[in-house]
Amino acid sequence: MKPRSRLTTVTLLLLFALAAPLQAGANPMELKLSRASVPAAIPLHGGYYEGGELYYIVTDANDSEQADRITHQQQWRVELAPLLSNTPAASRDKVYLFANGIEGEGLHGYQREVFTSTPAQRDRYSAVRSVVRVKWRMFKTPELLDSEQAILAAERSGKLELEPTDVVLNMPQVVWPGGQLPVKETKTLTDTTPYGGAQLLDIDLDKMKATFVAHRGWGPRGKTIYYIVTDAAPAGPAEMMGVVHAPTVAGTIDSAAAVDLYQFKNGIKGTGPMGFQPGIAAAAPGDANYSPLWRIHMVQWQSPGQASLLETMDDIFAKQGAGAVKVTLARPMNSDHVVNCPFIDPFQ
């Protein structure tokens, strides 16, 4: 069922378009959304990789208990995304999370987490992590461990035990040994800020905050959503957006871990990634089929001059059924295209 009409700027824009329709071949009208791009300050966490420090965010969890626990710990909402359980083994990596031992800044109140890859290990890196719980044995003296090799050595010597779990977290890295996500030169966001170039406005390691650009779009039923972008495959789109190129994420395209996201290739000009209207997602936070991993489809108007604003999945399907738009699976560089763009509330 379509949402009830709203007397918004968008509605007035459409009424104007109906009163003075564009001729075929004319330039498409422009959609000017308010708060099309807004800053989103997200808590940073510290971790280790092979003795070096890294910093990451946590946006999604497949487990409600973990989502609630981390939300409480960082005072910023972690979305429940059960579909992350379906991430293929080749498209996720491990993270070691300490359940006891040295008290510290880790997600469970002990030492920082240990990762098994960073974006520098391109063929292995994934923001999607299977959690391995680390627990020191009774009467063993805990010590700081800052690499997978150190953890495995401590396990072999009988100091601790490792427990693989079914918990899967979305933990995109922001800073890692020898690298970081690009930061925009212009910090002021407007309703016409270009989509690409970089997705970060600031990295503050003193306040442990990373400020991302949150992009406005629509959920499946027309409700406004905001999302950030952290990594993608293949290389071309990742470089255009200014995020990590993570080839492993492409392996989710045929899995139940990825959900459909529709972006526009032509039509009404706007703040979408291709320079046209914002996209429409097949799920929103709170939906059973929500995931931060998105399989991208392209919507192309057959007559761009006759384009109208689409806000819901039903709008897309209706126009597709009428032959007004063509919907195809995106294949940039003739490759599978998946984007890790968690949906968030930037105003929390």
Kindly state whether residues 161 and 243 are assigned to the same domain: no
| Whether the predicted pLDDT of 23 surpasses 60 | no
Helix-strand-coil split of the chain, %, nearest 5:
20, 30, 50
Rounded CA separation 61/170 (Å): 6
| Whether the predicted pLDDT of 52 surpasses 80 | yes
Burial of 64 (0-12, 13-18, 19+ CB in 10 A): exposed
Contact 342, 84 (CB under 8 A): no
If you average pLDDT over every residue of the chain, what do you get? 92
* pLDDT at 15 (0 to 100): 32
Pair type for strands 293-301 and 259-264 = parallel
| Whether the predicted pLDDT of 19 surpasses 60 | no
Kindly state whether residues 141 and 155 are assigned to the same domain: yes
Q: What is the pTM of this model?
A: 0.91
Comparing C-alpha atoms, which of 161, 146, 312, 289 is closest to residue 222?
312
Q: pLDDT category, 24, cuts 50, 70, 90? A: very low
Classify residue 189: in a domain, yes or no. no
Kindly state whether residues 87 and 155 are assigned to the same domain: yes
Comparing C-alpha atoms, which of 220, 233, 257, 246 is closest to residue 89?
257
Burial of 73 (0-12, 13-18, 19+ CB in 10 A): middle
The CA–CA distances, whole Å, from 144 to 54, 89, 236 equal 15, 28, 40
DSSP per-residue codes, 77-132: PPEE-GGGGG--GGG-EEEEEESSSSBSSSTTSBSPEEES--TTSTTT--SEEEEE
**What's the whole-number mean pLDDT along residues 309-326?**
98
Q: pLDDT category, 22, cuts 50, 70, 90? A: very low
Q: Per-residue pLDDT tens for 69-121?
A: 999 999 999 999 999 999 999 999 999 999 999 999 999 999 999 999 999 99
CA 67 to chain centre: 16
The torsion angles phi and psi of 71, rounded to 5 degrees, stand at -55, -45
Kindly state whether residues 110 and 135 are assigned to the same domain: yes
Structural domain range at position 334 = 9-38+216-344
Rounded CA separation 30/224 (Å): 18
Q: Per-residue pLDDT tens for 141-175?
A: 999 999 999 999 999 999 999 999 999 999 999 99
Kindly state whether residues 56 and 31 are assigned to the same domain: no
Contact 201, 183 (CB under 8 A): yes
Kindly state whether residues 170 and 294 are assigned to the same domain: no
Amino acid at 344: I
Kindly state whether residues 245 and 312 are assigned to the same domain: yes
Q: Per-residue pLDDT tens for 265-289?
A: 999 999 999 999 999 999 999 999 9
* pLDDT at 59 (0 to 100): 98
Structure tokens at 28: 């498409």
Classify residue 184: in a domain, yes or no. no
pLDDT exceeding 70 applies to what percent of the chain?
92
Q: Decide: helix, strand or coil at residue 314.
A: helix
Kindly state whether residues 75 and 98 are assigned to the same domain: yes
Classify residue 243: in a domain, yes or no. yes
Comparing C-alpha atoms, which of 324, 264, 237, 205 is closest to residue 30?
264
Contacts (Cβ under 8 Å, ≥6 apart) of 87: 128, 168, 252, 255, 257, 293
Classify residue 183: in a domain, yes or no. no
The CA–CA distances, whole Å, from 187 to 13, 120, 294 equal 29, 26, 27
Q: How many helices (H) and strands (E) does the chain have?
A: 5, 22
DSSP per-residue codes, 212-231: EEEEEEE-TTS-EEEE---E
pLDDT exceeding 90 applies to what percent of the chain?
90
Contact 67, 61 (CB under 8 A): yes
Classify residue 87: in a domain, yes or no. yes
Kindly state whether residues 226 and 265 are assigned to the same domain: yes
The total domain count for the chain is: 2
* pLDDT at 29 (0 to 100): 85
Q: Which of 176, 199, 227 represents a domain boundary (last residue)?
A: 176
The CA–CA distances, whole Å, from 267 to 33, 197, 277, 304 equal 15, 23, 7, 5
Q: Per-residue pLDDT tens for 250-268?
A: 999 999 999 999 999 999 9
Kindly state whether residues 32 and 50 are assigned to the same domain: no
Structure tokens at 19: 């009163």
Contacts (Cβ under 8 Å, ≥6 apart) of 304: 28, 266, 267
Kindly state whether residues 120 and 241 are assigned to the same domain: no
Kindly state whether residues 242 and 274 are assigned to the same domain: yes
Q: Decide: helix, strand or coil at residue 198.
A: coil
Q: Which of 123, 147, 176 represents a domain boundary (last residue)?
A: 176
Classify residue 311: in a domain, yes or no. yes
Classify residue 182: in a domain, yes or no. no
